[in-house]
Amino acid sequence: MGTEYVLPLLRTNILKLPTNMTRNDALLAVGGAAVLCHLIFKKWEPTYIPAVTTLLLVVPLGLSALLVPHYGQLLAPLVALATYHTILLTSITLYRLSPWHPLAQYPGPLPAKLSKWWMVWQERNCKQHLYIKQLHDRYGDVVRIGPNELSIRNVDAVAPLMGTNGLPKGPSLRGQGLEPPITGLIAIRDPAEHARRRRPWTRAFSTAALKEYEPILVKRISQLCEQLASQKGTLDLATWFSWFTYDFMGDMVFGGGSEMLAHGDQDGIWTMFKEGGEGQMMYHHVPWLAHYAKRLPMSPALKKMRGFALGRTAERYKKGASTKDLFYYLSNEDGVEKTPPPAAQVISDGVLATIAASDTTSTTLSNAFWNILRHPHYYKRLQAEVDKFYPVGENAFDTKHHSKMTFLDAVLNETLRMYPVLPSGSQRAPFPGNGDRVVGPYYIPDGTQARIHFWSLQRDPRYFSHPDTFWPERWLIAEGLEPAPAGEKFVHNPNAFIPFSFGPSNCVGKNLAQMEMRMVFCYLLQNLDFELDKSWNPAERENSTEDQFVLLMRSPVQVTVRRRV
């Protein structure tokens, strides 16, 4: 029985209540209705506006008739509303703090147990990843970060939570997307539907498809190199990487249409994406709010960003393929699927690609360069490795040597370990109605959610020696390519390194991102010399990390660039 049956029954019974009740009995009736309201929200979590209006306004106002003989016609509605909502909040509070709550055994801060709005408040400065790490340092490997959500910092929970037999996605990502008509790939909860929808993405990032994208990468990296070499004085390398990855995303997803490397952000598109991303975490933590936000004048920057992505995606879909770009596969123009997908599904996935395809790679590139430049011995060592495999005259775009470039891989891995793309991980939850689950040593009840906190996991001293130090050699030591430091225990657990997530819902574009970053490093270090601006304190960037679902860095990477001779 759902709310569509409960609400008429509730209204009918309210009308049957006697109007000559004593004041205490009338207040008790109002309080009982408030407790029943709590039970309805707990069971069905309604978001349908008429249903919510009935439960929160119509019911207490209807019950105010019982209070009219005691408080008068003007005061009775106010007393009914105040009594109803006070008891409703009290009921919710007592339940969430009680030993009968399914997550009562797990520790966490009191405000987080009471409401997910506490995490919204903590995210106001985009430092959620640091706050959750502090919670893990205080409370241990499992922390209650919401009334019904856990954060986990335990490598033994990674595969059970996120692996093949793990839990599906939680509701946060659908809320973050403002409840699109067709759910994008990243937010699909049904494992079978996710596997079906992922098939064209898998083809789009296959080895054969990556070869198709190489000429596009060559063109854009060459353009990036020329633009960097032509700049006078100090430049912000992070901004140039952002423009490069956005232009490449335009080529790879839409077959062209973006020229930020040539003209900068003259149309304000990159700025729009930055501003739009700032408001989405509220709906990540309070996904039911998205139901109202999409209908009310809320979060205009987020709506503008998604509207732009939707418009560009719909335009590309109408044109059809001119090259083998991402849409070529998403819309089944390769003819692999027997039944072409509906246009709305293709457009929904295109919106995801527009928003997610560029920011993550640009941040990782910027962080990798920033770290090797503030440790000049790493910069020189990596440049020497590039010179070994790609000396002057050798084609630095040829990927044949990438597998042998162990220090380049070490630098990229260490960057991703310290600065994971998704610092707070991906929410998972038992599929509604499928019962409770056991994840490693933890019990995850039906109706609750959990996540692996990547930032904490990958900086845990139990899994990595010197976890807060940028130390690429750890990857070479783990491979047996270098000796471990004498006199100390070397700790390295590769199972705690999950920069592209884990399991069947991991990052489908992982191979493209890795190829892109390797090609950028090889070509730029073969042709250019970089040096940090001496007037800039590179430590500033460490304090500028922001968790906006993906990791962002507000601080620039101020460098001077010159051609190598």
Where is 149: in which H helix or E strand?
strand 149-152
- Residue 558, classed as helix, strand or coil, is strand
Nearest to 156 by CA among 504, 502, 510: 502
Token representation of residue 519: 């090609």
Angle, helices 23-44/3-16, rounded to nearest 10 degrees: 170
Separation CA 319–CA 331 (nearest Å): 12
CB 509 within 8 A of CB 205: yes
175 touches 169 (CB < 8 A): no
Contacts of 210 (CB under 8 A, 6+ apart): 511, 512, 515
Please check whether residue 230 is in contact with residue 413, taking contact to mean a CB–CB distance below 8 angstroms: no
Q: Which tokens go with 153? A: 């910092």
Q: Which of 142, 145, 74 is nearest to 113 (CA)?
A: 145
Using alpha carbons only, what angle is made at residue 389 by residues 387 and 394, rounded to the nearest 5 degrees? Answer: 85
Residue 507 is assigned to a ligand binding site: yes
CB 77 within 8 A of CB 64: yes
Could you give the CA distance from residue 155 to residue 496 in angstroms, rounded to a whole number? 5
Asked if 448 and 147 count as a contact pair (C-beta separation under 8 A), the reply is no
Task: Provide CB contacts within 8 A for 565, sequence distance 6+.
Answer: none
Cβ atoms of 358 and 246 closer than 8 Å? yes
**Token pair of 255 as six digits:** 């077959």
How many helices and strands, by DSSP H and E, does the chain display?
A: 26, 10
Binding-site residue numbers for heme are: 507
Detail the residues annotated as belonging to a binding site.
507
